[in-house]
Amino acid sequence: MTKTKIVLLSIIVALSGSGTFLFAENPEQPKIISIAKDSAPAKKIEELNLDVLADWNGKLYIVAGPQDMVHLQKERIPYTLQTVPLTPARGQNAFSGGGVNGAYHTYQELEADMLALQQKYPNIAQVFPLGESLEKRKIYALKISDNVAFEEDEPEVLFLGCHHAREWISVEVPFLMGKYLAENYASDPEVKRIVDQSEIWIVPLVNPDGLEYTLHVYRYWRKNRRDNGQGNFGVDINRNYGYKWGIDNEGSSPSPASEVYRGTAAFSEPEARAVRDLFLRKNFQAMISFHSFSQVILYPWGYTKVPSDKNAQMREIAAEMSSRIQAVAGRVYQYGQSNGPAMYPTNGDTTDWAFGTSGTPSYTIELPPIDELGGGFFNRLEDIEPIFRENLPAMVYLIDYSIANYQPAIHNPYDLGAFLFKKIDKPDTRY
């Protein structure tokens, strides 16, 4: 993997609590600027708490507010204002058709669609609330299995989406997986086989408060909506998990103004606790956490460059998933260790925690595009289905891998509705 092909996701930000839209005609409004990488030391850019959207062709693309530009001027770091905002690729209006965000789900729309699957396919699909967000929205899991109301002695696989609010496509891919399995169970022998032999858990929206904020206030918002005081909002949920949490300030930040602020303690955020509690109650054999963008498949470790003791196995699985994705339409997903030669350090993230806690093969898949210039977080409406379709064989492969390599846990079957979670039948009418 080369750095020109791997876009660094937002590193550090000072845009907390903005109450206006990104491209409004407002002198106080953040702008997108670019900085030539050879014009300033990388450490200095980090210290300035900037929101780096992309590292592309020798330039850093940054969302910068007025104070950021003042700091850059004081440090004598030249920058260029991007006269053409980095909006949806090829001029596509991401909000055309459907609701407020077109074919992309709002919290309410996702809730309704998950419950509709349960109602239409009650024998294989059930929805469970795992907990509530800071703003009291429910965090839902969709379970797909042939005897869905019971825990059977079968491998379990977990698919997660939308830890980061602005990554809308990461909601759609795992949800569409659940929809595909439910709709094709009766007619597709291969779908029936994997559903009959496994338990598939899907949490498409880990960060509901953040997602809603991106819809109605600020499209580039990343974190949850924790009020940190002094005008700073948000914890990066994907830096809030407990394994090696806060081991250094490079893979996460102690600053509440940072876009990778890790929170006051491991699992301080209810959204991370909801995922944790599900994971610890189950015996997951594999996991994918979907993100966007940069079109890569990553595996632990993120907190160190030292490979894990299962590095060869993890790389082999990643290579196979990449190959199956490419076979659909030719799109290449690079793969490698999260803190590999061309990537960047993270600590307190989901995959390190899942792997470090249980040894479960755990992956981050960064969905397309490969760069900000290809659309960044603004995937076109017509891209949703193709991106899902190319990831489908990789997800099926991981389920099959889990079936073939199943390591049973020592436990007794129990009724999920009575013991683990309470099945939900009605939407949350507060939103």
Among candidate residues 239, 179, 251, 185, the one with its CA nearest the CA of residue 207: 239
Among candidate residues 401, 260, 408, 245, the one with its CA nearest the CA of residue 319: 401
Distance, in Å, from the CA atom of 270 to the CA atom of 61, rounded to the nearest integer, reads: 32
In the annotation, is 366 catalytic?
A: yes
Distance, in Å, from the CA atom of 325 to the CA atom of 331, rounded to the nearest integer, reads: 7
Distance, in Å, from the CA atom of 167 to the CA atom of 163, rounded to the nearest integer, reads: 8
Please state, as a whole number, how many other Cβ atoms lie within 10 Å of the Cβ of residue 166: 25
Distance, in Å, from the CA atom of 59 to the CA atom of 343, rounded to the nearest integer, reads: 16
Residue with tokens 């099926």: 396
151: DSSP letter: -
Instruction: List Cβ neighbours of 3 (8 Å cut-off, separation of 6 or more).
Output: 55, 342
Q: Which residue out of 167, 366, 372, 390 is catalytically annotated?
A: 366
Instruction: List Cβ neighbours of 140 (8 Å cut-off, separation of 6 or more).
Output: 110, 111, 114, 127, 128, 129, 130, 203, 204, 205, 424
Distance, in Å, from the CA atom of 180 to the CA atom of 395, rounded to the nearest integer, reads: 12
Among candidate residues 319, 301, 283, the one with its CA nearest the CA of residue 398: 319
Distance, in Å, from the CA atom of 209 to the CA atom of 225, rounded to the nearest integer, reads: 6
Among candidate residues 37, 32, 80, the one with its CA nearest the CA of residue 57: 37
Distance, in Å, from the CA atom of 346 to the CA atom of 342, rounded to the nearest integer, reads: 13
Alpha-helical segments (H) within 16-58: 42-47
**Which residues participate in catalysis according to the annotation?**
366
